């Protein structure tokens, strides 16, 4: 069995990718995710893999496009401003049905913003940050061990659906250290007969492309893509609920959910009936978590390190059945447990 | 322990230099009229000593860090004030240097100053960190740090830990690797750093001095519980 080691989130994510069989990494530095490329630059040459520090984020995502076309496990990583630059390439990869893993360790925005943690890229990640009708499968870990597990799974999911999968973390998850175990595993085997690996003169060349000259063909292609996104919604929803019988629920993902665990304990110590709903997949969004508590829940408080993004999906999921309040910090500031608790008590007062 | 005027912590990335610097400076503060911590970290963007500035100033510890907005940036900047610590013979100094040879490069410019003062350069080892698990890895990093910092390392600090999940076994296994590095390099182990909660478990086993650590580099949700 592998030994437990103390790792920063970024390092653990990189080693998890290696353990899942990723041997190709293309990226460009940006704080607070620099340990990902730094780690890959040391690790991949040891395994005869390839690390390329590209000339830009745009170049890096297109290198991923190339590697993915050849059917290999590949990854790129960045933080908010760099992820914006990659959007064109991500849209092309969905259009070309290419598997890859894209990591976003979010920082304060908009623009260059700050280097501190944020969750301001939820819309970009879950609603299709580039052009066209598409979705990424978006995984949001809230501990380093979970980041390891989800990263390893992300490579399988990307190949299962032939679609990019995004790991959506934030600077805090990237920079903090926790003990982790990383167990290498054999990659799941998915059909890769579409990959451009050379015909050896025995078959017609495979073509990887997102261009459809005829509108009818492009619409058919879109219908197929939508079918895949529907399958993701049916098969891949993940979430965690603490105290499902509670009357009030805090809702958050990633680092914010870690902070809210503290608040749940503080609130329950005061005798308040409070639970936590933590989406792990942001797309597909776990509507079912809200349906399951609909008959007894009295209200929800969504907390994000943003001005209010996931709260819109929570309102769609709750569908007017209960009030949904919001508390957010922006620009790289993290919400504090005592402020969240105060907002929660305010919501409880308004409902009663 | 710490009987030189200036103690410099260097070592692999994430080996625990900032945690040790913060603990050591607060441990020594009551014994010195004038004491300072120098944040020379040009590598990591979060969890830097400067985040503890207010707490340290309250304990009459001088905190030397990049000035103004620069302290929040991810730029390789150091304060011009660092030069002043070499000229005050009554000042006790703890220096927290960024990890790996990439962080140690910040020391190079002070070579001439270090030659004139009484100092020690401590190489911090946590064998439960990536690229730090064997004596070979550690000795290679020691040499790279000496090359880039232009300072010879004078002793080792055994600091193997898994954060909150550290056990007696973790400490002893890292201690054994540190002993091997000591034997092969001829450098003494200055002290073994251990979580205060494990003191009773290891105090009769380790022959070197022990330094007891209270973890301060915690994520925000754990820091808040304590307040």
| Predicted confidence (pLDDT) per residue in A58-96, tens digit | 999 999 999 999 999 999 999 999 999 999 999 999 999
Residues of A with CB under 8 A from a CB of B: 3-8, 11, 15, 31-32, 34-35, 39, 42, 114-116, 171-172, 175-179, 258-259, 261-262, 334, 336-338
Output the CA–CA distances (angstroms, integers) from residue A263 to A244, A274, A315, A351, in the order listed.
16, 9, 22, 19
Search chain A and give the residue with CA nearest B126: A6
Distance between CA atoms of residues A276 and A274, nearest Å: 7
pLDDT digit string (tens) for B131-149?
Answer: 999 999 999 999 999 999 9
Whether A217 and A247 share a structural domain:
no
Mutation pick from A4, A6, A337 vs chain B, by most beta carbons of B within 10 Å, is A6
Note the pLDDT of residue A2: 77
Whether A183 and A272 share a structural domain:
no
Split at pLDDT 50, 70, 90, the class of B222 is: confident
Chain A partners within 8 Å of B13 (Cβ): 35
Chain A partners within 8 Å of B12 (Cβ): none
**Structural domain of residue B49, as residue ranges?**
6-226
Share of chain B residues as helix, strand and coil, in percent rounded to the nearest 5: 45, 20, 35
Whether A256 and A230 share a structural domain:
no
> How near does any CA of chain A get to the CA of B188, in Å?
25
Output the CA–CA distances (angstroms, integers) from residue B222 to A291, B52, B54, B143, in the order listed.
32, 15, 18, 36
Whether A126 and A270 share a structural domain:
no
**Structural domain of residue A153, as residue ranges?**
5-235
Q: Is the Cβ pair B224, A262 closer than 8 Å? A: yes
- Among the partner-chain residues A175, A178, A334, the one whose CB lies closest to the CB of B45 is A175
Note the pLDDT of residue B227: 41
Whether A294 and A315 share a structural domain:
yes
Distance between CA atoms of residues B151 and A190, nearest Å: 53
Note the pLDDT of residue B226: 45
> How near does any CA of chain B get to the CA of A99, in Å?
28
Search chain A and give the residue with CA nearest B218: A176
Q: Could you give the count of Cα atoms lying within 13 Å of B156 in the half-sphere of its Cβ?
A: 30
Whether A151 and A122 share a structural domain:
yes
- Among the partner-chain residues B72, B162, B224, the one whose CB lies closest to the CB of A6 is B162
Q: Are A235 and A204 in contact (CB under 8 A)?
A: no
Note the pLDDT of residue B219: 86
Split at pLDDT 50, 70, 90, the class of B214 is: very high
Residues of B with CB under 8 A from a CB of A: 13-14, 44-47, 72-74, 126, 128-131, 133, 161-165, 217, 219-221, 224-225
Q: Is the Cβ pair B74, A31 closer than 8 Å? A: yes
Note the pLDDT of residue B224: 53
Choosing from A235, A255, A278, the residue where a domain stops is A235
Whether A214 and A298 share a structural domain:
no
pLDDT digit string (tens) for A217-266?
Answer: 999 999 999 999 999 999 999 999 999 999 999 999 999 999 999 999 99
Split at pLDDT 50, 70, 90, the class of B73 is: confident
> How near does any CA of chain B get to the CA of A82, in Å?
16
**Domain total of chain B:** 1
In a domain, B171, yes or no: yes
Split at pLDDT 50, 70, 90, the class of A352 is: low
Residues in chain A: 352
What is the DSSP annotation of A74-110?
Answer: EEEEE-HHHHHHHHHHHHHHHHTT--EEEEEEEBS-S
Search chain B and give the residue with CA nearest A171: B46
Choosing from A235, A250, A284, the residue where a domain stops is A235
- Among the partner-chain residues B130, B162, B219, the one whose CB lies closest to the CB of A179 is B162
Region A27-49: mean pLDDT is 97
**Closest listed residue to residue B164, CA positions, set B225, B226, B218, B224:** B218
Q: Is the Cβ pair A11, B130 closer than 8 Å? A: yes
Q: Taking all residues of chain B, what is their mean pLDDT, rounded to a whole number?
A: 94
Search chain A and give the residue with CA nearest B75: A31
CATH number at residue B73: 3.40.50.300
> How near does any CA of chain B get to the CA of A195, in Å?
34
Whether A204 and A251 share a structural domain:
no
Output the CA–CA distances (angstroms, integers) from residue A244 to A109, A274, A282, A298, in the order listed.
34, 9, 20, 12
Q: Is the Cβ pair A177, B14 closer than 8 Å? A: yes
Whether A103 and A164 share a structural domain:
yes
Q: Is the Cβ pair B165, A15 closer than 8 Å? A: no
Residue with tokens 């000339």: A55
Note the pLDDT of residue B68: 85
- Among the partner-chain residues B72, B130, B221, the one whose CB lies closest to the CB of A7 is B130
In a domain, B13, yes or no: yes
CA B117 to chain centre: 19
pLDDT exceeds cutoff 90 at B221:
no
Q: Is the Cβ pair B128, A5 closer than 8 Å? A: yes
Region A289-298: mean pLDDT is 97
> Phi/psi of residue B94, each to 5°?
-115, 125
Note the pLDDT of residue B193: 98
Q: Is the Cβ pair A7, B131 closer than 8 Å? A: no
pLDDT digit string (tens) for A314-341?
Answer: 999 999 999 999 999 999 999 999 999 9
pLDDT digit string (tens) for A157-210?
Answer: 999 999 999 999 999 999 999 999 999 988 889 999 999 999 999 999 999 999
Whether A89 and A179 share a structural domain:
yes
Whether A220 and A250 share a structural domain:
no
CATH number at residue A273: 3.40.50.920
Residues 6 or more apart whose Cβ sits within 8 Å of residue A51: A25, A26, A37, A40, A41, A44, A45
In a domain, B1, yes or no: no
CATH number at residue A138: 3.40.50.970
In a domain, B209, yes or no: yes
**Domain total of chain A:** 2
Q: Is the Cβ pair B162, A4 closer than 8 Å? A: yes
Split at pLDDT 50, 70, 90, the class of A1 is: low
Chain A partners within 8 Å of B165 (Cβ): 4, 179
Q: Are B19 and B105 in contact (CB under 8 A)?
A: no
Share of chain B above pLDDT 70, in %: 98
Chain A partners within 8 Å of B219 (Cβ): 172, 176, 258
Share of chain A above pLDDT 90, in %: 97
Whether A279 and A170 share a structural domain:
no
Chain B partners within 8 Å of A261 (Cβ): 221
Q: Is the Cβ pair B221, A5 closer than 8 Å? A: no
Q: Is the Cβ pair A176, B219 closer than 8 Å? A: yes
pLDDT digit string (tens) for B107-127?
Answer: 999 999 999 999 999 999 999
Q: Cα torsion for A167, A171, A175, A177, to the nearest 10°?
A: -70
Choosing from A235, A255, A276, the residue where a domain stops is A235
Search chain B and give the residue with CA nearest A46: B131
Q: Which residue has the higher pLDDT, B223 or A255?
A: A255
Residue with tokens 């409880």: A348
Mutation pick from B42, B44, B46 vs chain A, by most beta carbons of A within 10 Å, is B46
Q: CB pairs below 8 Å between A and B: how many?
A: 76
């Amino acid at each position: 069995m592998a030994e437990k080691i103390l790792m920063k989130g970024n390092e653990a994510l990189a080693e998890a990718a290696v353990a899942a069989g990723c041997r190709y990494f293309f990226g460009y530095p940006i704080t607070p995710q620099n340990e990902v490329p730094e780690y890959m630059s040391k690790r991949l040459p040891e395994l005869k893999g390839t690390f390329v520090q590209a000339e830009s984020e745009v170049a890096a995502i297109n290198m991923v496009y190339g590697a993915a076309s050849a059917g290999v496990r590949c990854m790129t990583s960045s933080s908010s401003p760099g992820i914006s630059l990659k959007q064109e390439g991500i849209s092309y990869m969905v259009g070309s049905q290419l598997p890859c893993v894209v990591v976003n360790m979010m920082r304060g925005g908009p623009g260059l913003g700050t280097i501190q943690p944020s969750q301001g890229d939820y819309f970009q990640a879950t609603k299709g940050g580039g052009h066209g009708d598409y979705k990424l499968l978006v995984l949001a870990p809230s501990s380093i061990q979970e980041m390891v597990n989800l990263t390893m799974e992300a490579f399988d999911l990307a190949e299962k659906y032939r679609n990019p999968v995004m790991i959506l973390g934030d600077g805090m998850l990237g920079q903090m250290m926790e003990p982790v175990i990383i167990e290498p595993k054999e990659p799941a085997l998915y059909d890769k007969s579409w990959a451009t690996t050379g015909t050896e003169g025995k078959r017609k060349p495979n073509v990887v492309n997102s261009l459809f000259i005829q509108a009818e063909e492009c619409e058919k292609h879109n219908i197929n893509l939508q079918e895949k996104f529907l399958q993701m919604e049916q098969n891949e929803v993940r979430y965690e609920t603490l105290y499902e019988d509670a009357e009030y629920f805090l809702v958050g993902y990633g680092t914010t959910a870690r902070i809210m665990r503290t608040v749940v304990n503080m609130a329950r110590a005061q005798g308040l009936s409070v639970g936590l709903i933590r989406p792990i997949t942001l797309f597909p969004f776990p509507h079912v978590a809200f349906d399951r508590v609909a008959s007894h829940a009295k209200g929800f408080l969504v907390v994000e390190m943003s001005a209010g993004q996931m709260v819109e999906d929570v309102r769609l999921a709750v569908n007017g059945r209960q009030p949904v309040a919001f508390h957010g910090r922006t620009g790289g500031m993290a919400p504090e447990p005592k402020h969240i608790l105060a907002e929660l008590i305010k919501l409880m007062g308004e409902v009663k | 322990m710490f009987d030189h005027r200036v103690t410099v912590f260097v070592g692999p990335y994430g080996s625990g230099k900032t945690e040790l610097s913060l603990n050591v400076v607060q441990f020594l503060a009551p014994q010195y009229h004038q004491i300072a911590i120098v944040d020379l970290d040009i590598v990591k963007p979060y969890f830097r000593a400067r985040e503890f500035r207010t707490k340290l100033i309250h304990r009459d510890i001088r905190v030397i860090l990049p000035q103004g907005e620069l302290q929040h940036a991810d730029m390789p900047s150091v304060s011009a004030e660092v030069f002043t610590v070499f000229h005050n013979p009554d000042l006790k100094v703890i220096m927290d240097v960024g990890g790996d040879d990439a962080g140690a490069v910040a020391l190079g410019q002070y070579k001439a100053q270090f030659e004139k003062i009484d100092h020690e350069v401590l190489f911090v080892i946590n064998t439960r960190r990536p690229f730090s698990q064997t004596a070979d890895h550690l000795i290679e990093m020691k040499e790279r740090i000496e090359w880039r910092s232009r300072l010879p390392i004078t002793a080792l600090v055994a600091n193997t830990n898994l954060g909150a999940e550290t056990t007696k076994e973790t400490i002893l296994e890292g201690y054994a690797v540190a002993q091997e590095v000591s034997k092969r390099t001829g450098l003494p182990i200055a002290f073994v750093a251990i979580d205060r909660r494990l003191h009773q478990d290891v105090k009769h086993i380790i022959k070197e001095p022990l330094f007891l650590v209270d973890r301060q580099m915690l994520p925000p949700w754990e820091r808040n519980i304590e307040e």
